[in-house]
Amino acid sequence: MRFKMISLVLCFFAIGCATRPDTAPIEHATKAPSYIDMTKAATIPKPVDKTTNIEQPASMSSLSDDNTSIKQVSNPKPLITPTAPKQVDAAPATIAVAPASASSDGFIMPTSGQTDGYKASNKGIDIYGTLGQNINASNSGKVVYSGNGLKDYGNLIIIKHSDVYLTAYAHNKVNLVKEGATVKRGQKIAEMGQGDSNKAMLHFELRKNGKPVDPFILIPKGQ
């Protein structure tokens, strides 16, 4: 009888061990590690940008706009003090010019009269005088053009003085030299005609390496 009771107890114990679920794996899987307090995760401080050692603000709204964070400079002084532009005379004073004697060195005025001076837009100077007055070669050289084939120049003479300098004489009443002729400084080459304004005038150009320059660079004013 005692043997049967022991056997029955052993059977129940065996059945109980076979049917009881093992809760240990589940408990280990669901239980958070003891070194992390999950309830305080939201309070972990924000990381700091170590490249600049400056903590980034939470939002742009945290920057105040009352000049307490960034100071504005009022009425900064200019680096360069502006100066008033110089006034330019609307109409430059006229200059009286007269041809020098043929014995003078260098270039001479080709005729006498009044001129407003050199203007880059005009490429030369306009000398106003009397219809038919003498037009003389400004310097010795060779006539490389004599005709009226260039628009806006009328009767035109071009003299080559060197590989560097040329002179041009436009709006002539009549040309008195032909292409290929050699002329001397002060020699009469034409007579004064009229320009587009119907005024007696000579349009005179001095060119250096093909580019127009102010004749007064080489010809003294008043000469």
Ramachandran angles phi, psi of 187, nearest 5°: -75, 140
pLDDT at 162 (0 to 100) = 96
Residue 134: count other Cβ atoms within 10 Å of its Cβ.
Answer: 18
Supply the DSSP symbol for 80. S
- The better pLDDT of the pair 186, 220 is held by 186
**Cβ contact 108:223 at 8 Å:** yes
For the stretch 58-78, pLDDT in tens is 444 443 444 444 445 455 555
- Backbone phi and psi for residue 49, each to the nearest 5 degrees, phi listed first: -70, 105
CA distance 194 to 209: 28
**Local structure of residue 4 (DSSP, 8 states):** H
Q: Contact at 8 Å (CB) between 152 and 197? A: no
- Which residues are CB-neighbours of 93 under 8 A, at least 6 positions away? none
> Could you give all domains of the chain from N- to C-terminal order, each with its CATH number?
95-217 (2.70.70.10)
Q: Are 111 and 127 in contact (CB under 8 A)?
A: yes
pLDDT of residue 195: 87
Q: Is the dihedral of CA 207, 208, 210, 216 positive or negative?
A: negative
The whole-angstrom separation of Cα 216 and Cα 6 is 142
Please state which of the ranges 136-140, 176-180, 191-195, 217-221 shows the lowest mean pLDDT: 217-221
- pLDDT tens profile 163-189: 999 999 999 999 999 999 999 999 999
User: Across-strand partners of 155?
Assistant: 172
**Which of the four pLDDT bands, split at 50, 70 and 90, describes residue 17?**
very low
Is there a contact between 154 and 193 (Cβ–Cβ < 8 Å)? yes
